[in-house]
Structure 1
Amino acid sequence: MARELMDDDESSGSQQEWTESFRDLARVNRYLGGWNALRDAVARLPRLPDHFLDVGAGDCDMALRLLVYLKRRGIAARGVALDRSAQILSIAAQRLGSAADVVLVRGDARSLPFAEASFDLAMLNLSLHHFEPADAVIVLRELARVSTTAVVNDLRRSLVAYAFARFAFPLFTHSRLTRNDGPVSVMRSYTPREAHELARAAGWQRIEVRTHFGYRMTLCGGRA
């Protein structure tokens, strides 16, 4: 199966191209269901988080949206945003500016540099499909290890979703990185049933998979 340009990190484009691609993804999150899917998953939690981890955080779009959502509900939350790419973390730092509510950390989703139960919530947005099943299980196990609750927000694979990404995605995006990776991302994504099986293999309990507008799905659960 074809690789996404974003899998190659720095070698796939300049910092300007990456910044433009993240702007595309922010529009997708806003208008095509990405943020709504995460918000709905967080709203169903028994307790809203005040300390969260965003794995594969990109430019921190979703982390910042979550902070605003929590602040409006009276929660002065703190976040940690982790990404493996130094270039992406540099872009995130520029976007965050002087904001002190999010700390940037470089690391690998398959070996998170945090102790057990360090966070109320660990989330993974638009990243699970970057991992083959064996690595995906490792990532899910790590998310559950470091948090009370884990939430995965990703695309769900279908031919209809692929057709939408192939023909409608260019209307919302400008970057060559995003336009190339959109359809590939859909075909690399998991179905809800596959996501449930991965979570079970990772040792998750209380597993819940929901589908959302924009060919999204959320996977929620944890170790206990």
Structure 2
Amino acid sequence: MFKSRSNQKELLDQEEIPAGDLYQNLRELDFINNWLGGYAVSFAALKKIIPSGSAGKSYTLVDIGCGGGDTLKRISKWAKRTGLQLDLYGIDIKPVCIDYARSNVKNAQVRFICDDYRNFFKHIPKADIIHACLFCHHLTENELVDLIRFALTNKSTLVINDLERNPLAYYSIKWLTRLFSRSYLVKNDAPLSVLRGFKKKEWKSIIEKSGAARYSVYNKWAFRHEVIIYGNTE
């Protein structure tokens, strides 16, 4: 079952999820991502694409499929520690996620938008960086090609932090969530997310179909991929 991506939809992709169940899911996902070092993949990618000596210059970053805003909260703290000036936006199509995010990220300079990511230029004039953390495995291959082309058309650098489809990752997260999770969404979706994840060669194939000229794909701890499709950041 690891030879090709699963087409099974996650419970999180359903239209109606009780708010309390979704909030429990978001809290546990933040803990898992932090504990396994998942946020570090995004920090490393941002350091690669923002030129050294850029103090005083501001960059606009939009996190698509932002969920509860935890990734943006972590990026905001990291940017302050490293002296980077980032104007941060989060966009998610689910109103319940945006409601949670606005409460969750009250003390950080982050603005949230409830809409499809393809509409965010109706809300803001530009995005130097489009960031997608654990969002792309929810998309089909054609939707991923469209996402890359969307970024390139709008001269944005696309940073993707997502899962590697790997047997060890699958069985590890399956047993860990079975033992410690209180969320039926996490128990179902965490291992399924791995099955919907990618192989490195699949990323390269998807990117080449998009027509992107400059990109990089790296394997990262733990069972992650750091994908950068370069736009006009540099």
Question: What's the TM-score once normalised by structure 2's chain length?
Answer: 0.86
2:65·2:90 contact (CA, 8 Å) conserved in 1? yes
Q: 1:41 to 1:170 in 2, by over 3 A?
A: farther
Counterpart residue number, 1:174: 182
Equivalent in 114, 123, 126 of residue 121 of structure 2: 114
Counterpart residue number, 2:60: 51
- Rg larger in 1 or in 2? 2
CA distance in 1, matches of 2:11, 2:154: 29
In the TM superposition, 1:1-224 aligns within 5 A as: 1-9=7-15, 11=16, 13-47=17-51, 50-97=59-106, 99=108, 101-109=109-117, 111-114=118-121, 118-171=126-179, 173-223=181-231
Unmatched 5+ stretches in structure 2:
1-6
Aligned-residue identity in percent: 24
81-90 vs 49-58, greater mean Cα deviation: 49-58
Aligned residues: 220
Unmatched 5+ stretches in structure 1:
none
1:189 positional shift = 1.1
Q: 1:135 to 1:205 in 2, by over 3 A?
A: same
SS of the aligned residue for 1:58 comes to coil
1:186 positional shift = 0.6
Letter of the 1:125 counterpart: C
SS of the aligned residue for 1:51 comes to strand
CA distance in 1, matches of 2:179, 2:224: 18
State the superposition RMSD in angstroms: 2.1
Question: What's the TM-score once normalised by structure 1's chain length?
Answer: 0.89
Letter of the 2:12 counterpart: M
Q: 1:98 to 1:162 in 2, by over 3 A?
A: closer
Q: 1:66 to 1:144 in 2, by over 3 A?
A: farther
1:205 positional shift = 2.5
Describe the superposition over 1:170-219 as per-residue Cα deviations: whole angstroms up to 9, x where unpaired. Answer: 35533111111011111111211111221222232221001111211111
Q: 1:31 to 1:98 in 2, by over 3 A?
A: closer
Q: 1:149 to 1:176 in 2, by over 3 A?
A: same
Moved over 6 A (4+): none
